[in-house]
Amino acid sequence: MKISFLSVASIIVTVIFVSIACFHVLLSFGCPFGEFAMGGSYKILPKNRRVLSVGNALILLFMSVVFLQHAYVIKGLSFLPTNPLVWVITIFLGLNTIANLLSRSKKERYTMTPISGIAFILCLFIALL
């Protein structure tokens, strides 16, 4: 099996998405990392934001599946329209990177901006291939 840049980039993006999903699961359990997410206003997220964190984790896992399917790393989900989904996710990540850059929380700005920026660049390459 020949390994392509598309496959490698999709796997790297998936590792990033799954890592952030795990981070959101920790936030939803009340771990004191809230300063790194959602504007950084809370050290421990309140209950309503914990529910959002669970939703974020699920969305990130779905995004991972989209990229793995798009690169044919996984098969069997051919019903997913991966081309438009990859572009929607890529645009979202670009906007998310800007939002992280503008965050009032230094921890979020210095930690999440580079992570989302790297994910955005990789997703842009994937979308353009």
> What pLDDT digit, counting tens, does each position of 21-30 carry?
999 999 999 9
Q: Is the pLDDT score of 1 beyond 70?
A: no
Q: Going by C-beta distance under 8 Å and a sequence separation of 6 or more, which residues neighbour residue 8? A: none
Q: What is the pTM of this model?
A: 0.94
Angle at 53 between CA 49 and CA 54, to 5 degrees: 120
